[in-house]
Structure 1
Amino acid sequence: MSTRSRYDAVVVGAGHNGLVTAAYLARAGWSVLVLERLEQLGGAAVSQQVFPGVDVRLSAYSYLVSLLPDRIVADLGLDLTLADRAVASYTAVPEGPGLLVERDEGPATAASFRALTGSDAELAGWRRFYGRVATLAEDLAPTLTEPLLSPAELTGRLRDPQLWHDLNERPLADVVADELTHDVVRGVALTDGLIGTFADVHAADGLAGRCFLYHLVGNGTGRWRVPVGGMGAVTGAMAAAARGAGAELVTRAAVTALEPRADGVTVHWTDDDGTAHAVDAGQVVCGAAPAVLERLTGATPGPTADGAQLKINMVLTRLPRLRSGIDPAVAFAGTFHVDEAAAQLDAAHAQAAAGRLPDVIPFEVYCHSLSDPSILGPAERSAGYQTLTLFGLHTPAGLFRADPVGTRREAVRRVLAQLDARLEEPLLDCLARDASGAPCLQAASPLDVEASLAMPGGHIFHGDLSWPVAATPEQVGTWGVATAHPRIVSASSGGTVRGGAVSGLGGYAAARALLDGR
C-alpha cells in the first residue's frame, strides 16, 4: 500500500524497464511509487515453478539476456551473474551431422561447416559477414545509452556505414545472401531477424533488419547470456536496487486510469480487494505497452502489430539422444535450430501470411540448466533433470483467434513431431511428470501471452521495433520517451525508440529524460 498522497513519480508496471526507472529516480532522491497489476514483480522477466511437485524454477517468458547494458548493471549495483554459453548454436538437419557453431570459433566449427557444405567457402563468408556485424555492434552499442543521434551523426560514428545502410534499406535476405549461399546457413542467420517478429525477410520494409540488429548488438558483442538463477534473478536484482534506494513497490495494484494535468497526473488504481485508490504524481512513467497507456488516458488505441511466437517450457528427466550422434549436452547448450533453413522460413511465412498454421513450423530450443543448474531443486539436480525451452517462429496471433486451444494444441503437436524426427527416442519418454502424473510441458501462444501480461497481440516487444536513431529533427538530443502528455513518459519496449528484449534501455531512457529535463 502506498504511504503518501503525492509522489515525484509513479511508475505503471514493474517489468524490467519500470524497475530500472524506479531505481534511477529513487537513487536521485525522487519519491517513487511503482504499481504492478500482477502478484509478482518482473513482468515477462520472471522465474516460476511451473509444474506442481517439480522443484524447477523456469524462466516462464523471456529467457536470455543480451541487450542489458553493463552500464545499467554497474550504475545500479545489480547483484547479477550472466553466464556465457560454450556453444552458439547447433542446427539439426535431416541427414548428416548438422551444423555446430561454437561461441569462440575453433576446429569443430570449421569441420562442421566443411561437412555440411563440402568446402571452406561458406565459413569464409560467415566470418566476413559476422566480422562486419561485430564492428557495427561495437560502434552502435555505446549510442544506446546516449541521447538520440541524428541519422547523419550516427553514420559518422560507424566504421562500416554500408552495413547500417543495407540493414535499413535492403531486404535482410539479400544482405545475408551477399555472403552466405547455403540454405541452412542462411537460415541460421535470418532467424535473428524473426525472433518475436512476424516479418518477410524479402521485404525492404526494415522490419526484419531492425529485429536482426537488436539481436546482434548487445553490449557491443551481441552475445546472449544465461542469467544465473533464471530471469527472475535479473528483475529481482532490479527490484532490490529500486527498493534499496527508497522506491515503494506495490503488487496486485491495477492502474485503471490516468488523469494528466498541467502540474501532474492523478493515478487511479485498485488493490486486490477491489478497493479504489488515487494518488497524485508529478510525473508518470508507463512501463506498459503504448495501447495500454492509450486506454488509461481515455484515448482509443490504434492498431497494433501481433506477436508471432509459440513458447513451450519443458522439464526433462534427461536430454534425449540425437540421430546425428552429437552429444546432447553440446547440441542443446546453445541455440538448437530445427527446420529453420532459409527456404523453410519462406514457406512458413507464406502459409502464415495466408492465414494457415505452417505445415512445418520453424523453431529453436535451448537448455538453461546446462549452463545454470541452480534453477533445479536438489532432488532434481541429483537425478539429472534438465530444462528445455522451445520458441516457434511464424505463428502470429491471428492464427489462434478462431480456435485458441485447438490451434495451440495442433501447433504443439507439429513442433514435437518435428523435434522427434531429430531424436533417437520420443521426447515424451524424456519428459518429467508433475505431481498429478502429467508431462511437464507448458505451451503459450501469443494470445496466452496477451492474457497473462497485457501485451497487445502477445507481441513480446510491445509492437514493431524502431531504428535506434532519431526519426525526426525534433527527436535529436532527446531520449525518445515522449508521449502525447507532457507529464507522462514511456519506458516500455514499444513506447520508446530503443526497446526490445530484456534490456532496461526504455527504463534507463525514461529516467534520464526526467532527470535531465529532456
Structure 2
Amino acid sequence: MPAPHDVVVVGGGHNGLVAACYLARAGLSVLVLERLGHTGGAAVSAQAFRGHEARLSRYSYLVSVLPDAMIADLGLDLRLLSRRTASYSPLSMDGRATGLLVERPEGDATRRSFAEVTGSDAAYEQWRAFDADVAGLAAAVAPTLMQPLPREADVRAAVDERVWRELVTTPLGLTVRERFDDDLVRGTIATDGLIGTSVSLEDPSLVANRCFLYHVIGNGTGEWRVPVGGMGAVTTALRDRAVALGATVLTGAGVSRIDTATDGTGATVTWDDADGRHEVAARHVLANVAPWVLRILRGEEPEPGTKPVGAQLKINLLLDRLPRLASGVDPEVAFAGTLHLDEGYAALEAAAADAAAGRLPDRIPGEVYCHSLSDPSILGPSAPAGQHTLTYFGLHTPSHLFEGPDAEAVKAEAVRRALAGLQRHLAEPLEDCLARDADGALCLEARTPPDLERELALPGGHIFHGDLDWPWASSRAALDTPAQRWGVQTDADPVLLCGSGARRGGAVSGLGGHDAARAVLEARG
C-alpha cells in the first residue's frame, strides 16, 4: 500500500492538475490518480488521422475563463493567441450570399457589415451598447474569480441595476429580443448562452443566462483564445509544473471507491492499475469528477433522473484547403474566428423546441473554428501547404437522441445535417476540400454526448458536469467553512469538488482546481 498522502486528487484533468500545482507548491504530499493512460481529460490534443501529423484539440478547443493571473501565478509554460476575426455569420439574403463580419478589434468593416446585413445604421450601435453593458458586468465579476465566493448583493452593488436586471434576472432571450431588432444579430449574441446546454433562451430557469455569463467574463474581456500547440499544451504545462513541484501523477489508475473515516478526519481511496488493487489514505480527497460520478464512487445509487444531459455535437475535420464561401469573403477571414451557422434567434429557438420534443433539429445550429489559422504548429512540420483543421460544434443535440438501437444511424444523420449547414454557404463541395487518411478515408471524426460519456466518463456527455451555477453565493448561503467559502463542499468534510462541478466550474478555467486547493490550504491554516 502506498504511503499516506496529504491529498489525493481523483482525476488528472486540467482542474486536478491545477490543484496539484498549488498544493505541491505549498509543501503538501499530493497524489493524482487518472484512470486513462494520459492526463488532461477533455483538454488534450491527439493525432486523429493516420498518415497526418496534425494534432487536433479533440474535445475542448479554446481558452477564455482560465485567468491570466493563474497562468502567471503557477509559472506555466503556456501561450494563448488572439484570433484576428471575432465572428462571421454567413446568410442568404434576397437570393444573395452575404454575411455578418465582426473583426477583432472592430473597425469600419464591421460597421459596414452590420449596415449591409441589417439595413440599418442603428444595429451596430445597439451591438456596441450591449457590448459595453456586458463589459461592465465582466469587470465586476472577473476579479472575484480567484477569491472566496462573494455575496450576490456585493456583486450586484458593483453593477448597473439595469444591466443586472437584463443579464442576471431576466431570461436572456427576452433581453436580446428587447435590445436588438435583427434576428441574426440576436442569435449571434445569444448563442453564448447555449454552448453545452439545450434550453429555450426564454426559459425562466436562467440556465442560458448563467452559461452566457461564463462565456463573456474571461479575464474581464470574454475573449476566447487559441492555445499554442493545441489544448494538450495546457495539460502538458500543468502536468510538468505539478511534477516539478513534487506531486506524484499516476495514469492508468482507475478509482473505484472513496470511503470517508467515521470520525471525519480523512478518507481512503481504492484504485486499480495493471498491478492490481490498491488503497491509499489521505487527509483530503479532491474529486475532479462530475458530482454524479462522485456519488457512485462513494457507494451511493444516484437516481437516473438526476443524471446530467449533454447536448453538443463535435466534428473534427482535416482539410487539404479551406473551402471558398459563396459570399466571396476571404476564407482566411471567415474561418479565423467563430463562423456561425443557422444561429439566428428564430433558428435557435426552433432547434431548442425540436430537441425538447425528442427530435433531431432539421437545421442544427452550429459553429466552425479553424485553429490552424491562428496556430499552424498543430499541423506538424511536414504538413502540406494549404492544409488546415476545422472544428464544428453543434447545439441542441441532447444525449437522449443518440440512445437506443438506431443510435449510430442518428449520429450519421446528425453529422450529415451539421455539415449540410456549412455546405449551404460554400461555393464548392466541402468533400472536395477534405483530406484523406492513410487508408483513403475522409479525415472526419464526430463525437456525441454518449461518446463523451464512454471516453471521458462525463455523465450524459455534459461538458460542464451539469448546469452551470452563478459564480457568487446567495445572501442566505452558509459560508462558515473553507469549502463553503470556495464553493467546493460536499456532504463529507474530507472530500471536496475540484472539477467543473464546483461552484465556479465549467470550461477550461482551472477554477475548480484552484478553489479546492485554496480550501484545503485554508483549512490547514
How does the TM-score come out when normalised to structure 1? 0.97
Contact 2:87 2:334 in 1 (8 A): yes
Superposed, 1:327-476 pairs within 5 Å as 327-380=330-383, 382-402=384-404, 403-471=406-474, 472-475=476-479
Contact 2:12 2:40 in 1 (8 A): yes
1:392 partner amino acid: G
2:5 partner amino acid: Y
Contact 1:167 1:206 in 2 (8 A): no
- Taking the aligned partners of 2:86 and 2:389, their CA distance within structure 1 comes to 18
> Could you report, residue by residue, the CA deviation over 1:361-410 in whole angstroms, capped at 9, with x for unpaired residues?
00010000000001011221x42210000000000001111222111100
Q: Could you say what secondary structure the match of 1:438 adopts?
A: coil
Contact 1:196 1:309 in 2 (8 A): yes
Contact 1:11 1:286 in 2 (8 A): yes
2:55 partner amino acid: R
1:72 partner amino acid: M
- Taking the aligned partners of 1:406 and 1:38, their CA distance within structure 2 comes to 28
Question: What residue number does 2:489 align with?
Answer: 482
Higher mean C-alpha deviation, range 165-174 or range 351-360: 165-174
Contact 1:24 1:511 in 2 (8 A): yes
Contact 1:99 1:113 in 2 (8 A): yes
Q: Kindly state the Cα deviation for residue 292 of structure 1 after the two structures are TM-superposed.
A: 1.0
1:321 partner amino acid: R
Q: Kindly state the Cα deviation for residue 199 of structure 1 after the two structures are TM-superposed.
A: 1.5
Question: What residue number does 2:129 align with?
Answer: 128
> Could you report, residue by residue, the CA deviation over 1:245-283 in whole angstroms, capped at 9, with x for unpaired residues?
00000000000101111221111000035x101111111
Q: Kindly state the Cα deviation for residue 161 of structure 1 after the two structures are TM-superposed.
A: 3.7
- Taking the aligned partners of 1:191 and 1:458, their CA distance within structure 2 comes to 20
Question: What residue number does 2:85 align with?
Answer: 87
Superposed, 1:60-71 pairs within 5 Å as 60-71=58-69
Please state if 1:103 is matched with 2:109.
no
Question: What residue number does 1:248 align with?
Answer: 248
2:143 partner amino acid: P
Please state if 1:33 is matched with 2:27.
no
1:503 partner amino acid: S
- Taking the aligned partners of 2:88 and 2:14, their CA distance within structure 1 comes to 30
> Could you report, residue by residue, the CA deviation over 1:204-234 in whole angstroms, capped at 9, with x for unpaired residues?
2110000000000000000000000000001
Superposed, 1:40-439 pairs within 5 Å as 40-94=38-92, 95-156=96-157, 158-261=158-261, 262-273=264-275, 275-302=276-303, 303-380=306-383, 382-402=384-404, 403-439=406-442
- Taking the aligned partners of 1:369 and 1:272, their CA distance within structure 2 comes to 38
Q: Kindly state the Cα deviation for residue 296 of structure 1 after the two structures are TM-superposed.
A: 0.6
- Taking the aligned partners of 1:410 and 1:329, their CA distance within structure 2 comes to 29
Q: Kindly state the Cα deviation for residue 168 of structure 1 after the two structures are TM-superposed.
A: 2.6
> Could you report, residue by residue, the CA deviation over 1:470-499 in whole angstroms, capped at 9, with x for unpaired residues?
1343037700100011000001112x1111
Contact 1:10 1:33 in 2 (8 A): yes
- Taking the aligned partners of 1:165 and 1:147, their CA distance within structure 2 comes to 24
- Taking the aligned partners of 1:247 and 1:305, their CA distance within structure 2 comes to 32
1:100 partner amino acid: L
Contact 2:140 2:155 in 1 (8 A): no
> Could you report, residue by residue, the CA deviation over 1:325-351 in whole angstroms, capped at 9, with x for unpaired residues?
000000000000111100101111111
1:162 partner amino acid: R
Q: Kindly state the Cα deviation for residue 31 of structure 1 after the two structures are TM-superposed.
A: 0.2
Contact 1:404 1:447 in 2 (8 A): no
Contact 1:169 1:206 in 2 (8 A): yes
- Taking the aligned partners of 1:473 and 1:416, their CA distance within structure 2 comes to 46
- Taking the aligned partners of 1:467 and 1:161, their CA distance within structure 2 comes to 17
Question: What residue number does 2:510 align with?
Answer: 504
- Taking the aligned partners of 1:373 and 1:96, their CA distance within structure 2 comes to 29
Q: Could you say what secondary structure the match of 1:280 adopts?
A: strand
Please state if 1:514 is matched with 2:520.
yes
- Taking the aligned partners of 1:141 and 1:194, their CA distance within structure 2 comes to 20
Higher mean C-alpha deviation, range 212-221 or range 294-303: 294-303
Higher mean C-alpha deviation, range 476-485 or range 30-39: 476-485
2:290 partner amino acid: A
Contact 1:96 1:116 in 2 (8 A): no
Contact 1:36 1:253 in 2 (8 A): yes
Q: Could you say what secondary structure the match of 1:473 adopts?
A: coil
1:119 partner amino acid: S
Contact 1:68 1:218 in 2 (8 A): yes
Contact 2:45 2:55 in 1 (8 A): yes
- Taking the aligned partners of 1:74 and 1:178, their CA distance within structure 2 comes to 40
Higher mean C-alpha deviation, range 302-311 or range 248-257: 302-311
2:394 partner amino acid: G
Contact 2:101 2:113 in 1 (8 A): yes
Moved over 4 A (4+): none
Higher mean C-alpha deviation, range 299-308 or range 217-226: 299-308
> Could you report, residue by residue, the CA deviation over 1:271-317 in whole angstroms, capped at 9, with x for unpaired residues?
035x1011111110000000111001111224122010000000000
Question: What residue number does 1:18 align with?
Answer: 16
Contact 1:169 1:205 in 2 (8 A): no
- Taking the aligned partners of 1:272 and 1:398, their CA distance within structure 2 comes to 34
- Taking the aligned partners of 1:473 and 1:452, their CA distance within structure 2 comes to 36
Q: Kindly state the Cα deviation for residue 96 of structure 1 after the two structures are TM-superposed.
A: 3.3
- Taking the aligned partners of 1:436 and 1:367, their CA distance within structure 2 comes to 24
1:483 partner amino acid: T
Higher mean C-alpha deviation, range 426-435 or range 474-483: 474-483
Contact 1:169 1:204 in 2 (8 A): no
Figure out how many residues of one structure are paired with residues of the other and give that number. Answer: 512
Q: Could you say what secondary structure the match of 1:263 adopts?
A: coil
How does the TM-score come out when normalised to structure 2? 0.96
Q: Could you say what secondary structure the match of 2:179 adopts?
A: coil
Question: How big is the alpha-carbon RMSD for the aligned residues of Structure 1 and Structure 2?
Answer: 1.2
